Structure 1
Amino acid sequence: MAMSKQDTDVIRALQALEDGSSSVRLRAALAVGTTPDPRFVDKLIERCAIEPEFYVRDMLTWALTRHPASKTVPELLQQLRSERAQARSQALHTLSKIGDPQAWPAITRELLSDADGEVARAAWRAAVVLVPKGEEAELAAVLSTQLGRGEREMQLSLSRALIALGEVIVPTLQAAMKDADPRVRAHAIATERLLRDPEAGYEFAIEEAKRVVALGDTRTEE
């Protein structure tokens, strides 16, 4: 029996998602998102895990958000257990864009402290989007265990995630300001300053925080 035009188009799109040219893969992801079909979901998720180009991965994520959450979310949750770091980070990124509450229980402490920096950052962003009302303080406590981790970009990502939770983070930050590790203290102080003055900029806040830590005074302004 001859295939319908729709079936032929699906097969061509699936093949194009694996093309050697990134521009072809980008156009294919755009086409798949423009005309969603459940048959695309598995391939989109598979490509997210291995796609080398950032802008193509971003289009793959967009294409997944165009499909029903009932189809995408369960499969994305499976990816969170993958041994491949990119599979975990892209699944988290996509779940944050979909925003389906059923994904929240899968954002575990292990993911929030993942050894891979990109996975951890994606988990932080997903967590602040998905956290149920009333559980923000508990999330802030878990996120605070990552204070002082990594270099500027990673620390800024964590500060942004914490700040997105609002005033509930203040007690947690104040506790971290007394931590034995000066990097943790400085990061906590910088995050609190940014919460109070978002226009200050992270560079200014962290340099000021380092001076405060060097002087041995971690009191915050009332």
Structure 2
Amino acid sequence: MLISEVARRSGVSARMLRHYDSLGLVSPTGRTVGGYREYSAEDIRRIFHVEGLRSLGLSLRQIGSALDDPGFTPSALVGDLIRKAEERLNREQELLERLRTVETAEPSSWQDVARIVELLHGLASPSAARRQQAVLAPAEDLPMPAELLAEAVLIESDPNVAGALRWALTRAGGGGVASLIPAMSSENIAIRRRAVLALAELPGDEATAVLTDALEDTDTTIRRHAALALGARGVTRAVPTLVDTVVEGPNDVEAAEILGTLAHDAEWADRIMSAVVDELATHTADSAVRMRLTQALAEMPGTIALTPLRQLAHDDDRAVALMASALVKLLEERL
């Protein structure tokens, strides 16, 4: 079969067939009566083998080795091809995500696109200082896509950069909460913790609803941050977790102050006082816990904590008794 017929039937161009011939990869082995070289059935079979291996990403040199070396084993080469394909897919995925980020920002010109790409490069920098600079000093008039900021804050380990990202996220408008909601279901505790810190700084009912759900999280730190944020918003459902925070620390001082604010509501004042007094009765042997609970009583409005503080002034724990006595004196002076 002459080269033109082979090209037509195989789908491989005559130019490529000549290239194969020049490399010695597939050369026509037959001759016509007129002396023209022609491809045998075995040659055509080899052409299809070459094309099949090319479709896997093998180079022509690798294909020649595979077809001509009887001892050639494909396992190592195929494994290498798999790794290269995975790397290529990862690069393509990164490109796709970058394009979607650019689209979300709704750039009005190619200059805007260039600025967004510059921001992306800044956030991907190995330098924490460079990442923070990219957040705090964006290009002039550059919109900060909430989705991009939310994605960055979920993977940021540097506390200063994370704080800058949360600050920028609160100023990026809508989209922040929606981008953080899936992270609250992550099996990675670190991601959930970063998400709850970001949600704590975002206003609105949607963020409050997600934080309320976070009160049921299995992680103590996540529950604590959610309760502090909710309590500051006046959500009384956070009270039990806030009391737990006073007991366990850290953030016990902040939790006590919030409980004091919530106790201005007469309906909740009794509940909060009862919860604190119950914890004092439970932790009779833990001086540090009793000290934190005693300090929390001092945050209660008016004089509603005067009676339990007078009782604590005679506590067996001298440190607790001294603190309670001092607090009683302050309250009585107010009266």
Give TM-score, length-normalised by structure 1: 0.71
User: Which residue does 2:203 correspond to in 1?
Assistant: 99
Partners of 2:245 and 2:251 within 8 A in 1: no
Report the residue type matching 2:131 in the other structure: R
Count of matched residue pairs? 200
Residue among 120, 124, 145 paired with 1:14: 120
The answer as to whether partners of 2:115 and 2:139 remain within 8 angstroms in 1 is: no
* Closer, same or farther: CA 12–173 of 1 in aligned 2, 3 Å: same
Aligned to 2:171: 66
Output the CA distance in 1 between the equivalents of 2:277 and 2:142: 48
1:79 to 145, 167, 183: 183
Task: Name the counterpart of 2:129.
Answer: 23
Q: 2:292 aligns with which of 180, 187, 199?
A: 187
The correspondence of residues 145-160 of structure 1 with structure 2, limited to 5 A, is: 145-150=244-249, 153-160=250-257
Report the alpha carbon displacement of residue 34 of structure 1 after superposing the two structures with TM.
Answer: 7.3
- The answer to whether the 8 A contact 1:177-1:185 is kept is yes
More displaced 10-residue stretch of structure 1: 156-165 or 74-83: 156-165
% identical aligned pairs? 19
Q: Tell me the distance in 1 between the aligned counterparts of 2:147 and 2:248.
A: 34
Larger Rg, first or second structure (1 or 2) = 2
Question: Secondary structure, in 3 states, of the residue corresponding to 1:148?
Answer: helix
User: Cα RMSD between the aligned structures?
Assistant: 3.5
Contact 1:49 1:84 in 2 (8 A): no
Q: Once the 2 structures are TM-superposed, how far is the Cα of residue 26 of structure 1 from its aligned partner? A: 0.8
Change (3 A) 1:36 1:86: farther
Q: What TM-score do the two structures reach when normalised by structure 2?
A: 0.50
The letter for the 2-side match of 1:30 is L
CA distance in 1, matches of 2:290, 2:213: 22
Q: What is the aligned counterpart of 2:150 among 45, 67, 74? A: 45
Residue 163 (structure 1) aligned with residue 260 (structure 2): yes
Q: 2:281 aligns with which of 161, 178, 186?
A: 178
The answer on whether the counterparts of 1:99 and 1:130 sit within 8 Å (CA) in structure 2 is no
C-alpha change, 1:59 and 1:14, in structure 2 (3 Å) is same
2-structure distance, mates of 1:6, 1:21: 24
Do 1:36 and 1:66's aligned partners in 2 also have CA atoms closer than 8 Å?
no
Deviating beyond 6 angstroms after TM superposition, the runs of 4 or more aligned structure 1 residues are: 215-220
Does the 8 Å contact 2:122/2:131 carry over to 1? yes
1:203 corresponds in structure 2 to none
Is the alpha carbon distance of 1:164 and 1:149 closer, same or farther for their aligned partners in structure 2, counting shifts above 3 Å?
same
Deviation at 1:81, TM superposition (A): 2.0
Distance in 2 between residues matched to 1:33 and 1:176, nearest whole Å: 53
Query: Aligned residue for 2:77?
Result: none
CA distance in 2 between counterparts of 1:192 and 1:34 reads 50
Shift of 1:19: 0.3
The answer to whether the Cα contact below 8 Å between 1:61 and 1:94 also exists between their aligned partners in 2 is yes
Aligned CA distance change for structure 1 residues 166 and 99 (closer, same or farther; 3 Å)? farther
Counterparts of 1:25 and 1:191 in 2: how far apart (Å)?
A: 39
1:143 is matched with 242
Q: What is the aligned partner in structure 1 of residue 232 from structure 2?
A: 129
Shift of 1:84: 2.9
Give the 3 Å change call, closer, same or farther, for CA 19–178 of structure 1 in structure 2: same
Residue segments in structure 2 that go unaligned for 5+ positions in a row: 1-108, 303-311
Partner of 1:202: none
Provide the C-alpha distance between the structure 1 equivalents of 2:217 and 2:172, rounded to a whole number of angstroms: 30
Report the CA distance between 1:116 and its aligned residue.
4.8
Distance 1:85 1:62, change over 3 A: same
Give, in angstroms, the shift of residue 113 of structure 1. Answer: 6.4
